[in-house]
Every structure is written in C-alpha cells, then in structure tokens.
Amino acid sequence: MKISNYSLNYSELLSSGKMDVFGFLSLCGQLDLEGASLHIRNLPETGTELLKKIRRDYLDNGLSVSMFSLSTNFGLPESQHEAELAKGREAIRGATFLGAPLLRVFAGSPPNEGQRDAALRGGDSARRRARC
C-alpha cells in the first residue's frame, strides 16, 4: 500500500493563496508520503511551463503522481456538455503530461431525482463525443 495526499484537502488554503501547489507538494514530501494527487481546480492554469515545474517538484520531493482529477457536471442540459468535455480534454492533457496513472472525473448529477434517467441517457451521447 502507498500513502498519498490529495490537494482537495487543502482547497481553502490553495484558493486563498495561503498555499500554492508547490507548497502542497513540499508538505507531502515533508510528511514522507509516497505520492500526491492533484485536482485541476487547485492549479492556477494548465500551461506546459507550469506543468513542467510541477512535474519537477514531484520529483524533487520524492513523490509519485497518484492521481489527477477534475469536476464536471454532465447533469447540466446537453447544450452545455461541450464545455464539460473541454474541461475533460484539458485534464487529460495535464494528467498525461504529469504521468498520472489515473484520471478521476467527478461527473456531476442531475438537477433532481426526476431527471436522473434522462441525465444518464444524455451521458451516452457525451461519451461518444468525448472519443472524437
């Protein structure tokens, strides 16, 4: 078993600017953890230059990339799914660049229980479009 930490545990510090992704990775290294997981929302952006620095910081802190994750909401009307798919594509690019073995996608939920079946059916067309 490997022990990892998750950036969402520090979202308040990360969003307030009291910690940045490098501080998070440093903390994980200081805690002698084996890995660290990042949520895309905890990054200021996903440009190649920043991802290079993050990958280097993982190595400098003796950490593996445990997981990369993102939040989407495919419970929204289908007309808004393309924006959610774009988030997914950005996360796939970031996860691939960092060498993450796993991409966790929080897929959202329907606006109410009465719309659950329709939301799940809509997910089928979103998955087909995501493969393109």
Half-sphere exposure of 72 (CA within 13 A, CB side): 23
E strand intervals along 1-99? 4-6, 35-39, 64-71
**How are the residues of the chain apportioned to helix, strand and coil, as percentages rounded to the nearest 5?**
55, 15, 30
Q: How many structural domains is the chain composed of?
A: 1
Of the candidates 93, 89, 47, 39, the residue with the CA atom closest to the CA atom of residue 66: 39
> At 30, which helix (H) or strand (E)?
helix 21-30
Q: Given this model, what pLDDT does residue 125 score? A: 52
- Residue 128 scores a pLDDT above 80: no
Q: What is the mean pLDDT of residues 4-28?
A: 97
Q: What is the mean pLDDT of residues 98-122?
A: 81
Q: Given this model, what pLDDT does residue 132 score? A: 42
Digit-coded pLDDT (tens) for 72-100: 998 888 888 999 999 999 999 999 999 99
Joined tokens for residue 11: 């979202």
d(C-alpha 65, C-alpha 59), whole Å: 9
What CATH number does residue 66 fall under?
3.20.20.150
- Residue 130 scores a pLDDT above 80: no
Digit-coded pLDDT (tens) for 46-74: 999 999 999 999 999 999 999 999 999 98
Residues 6+ apart with CB under 8 A from 101: 65, 66, 67
Q: What is the mean pLDDT of residues 95-117?
A: 87
Show the domain range for 100: 4-130
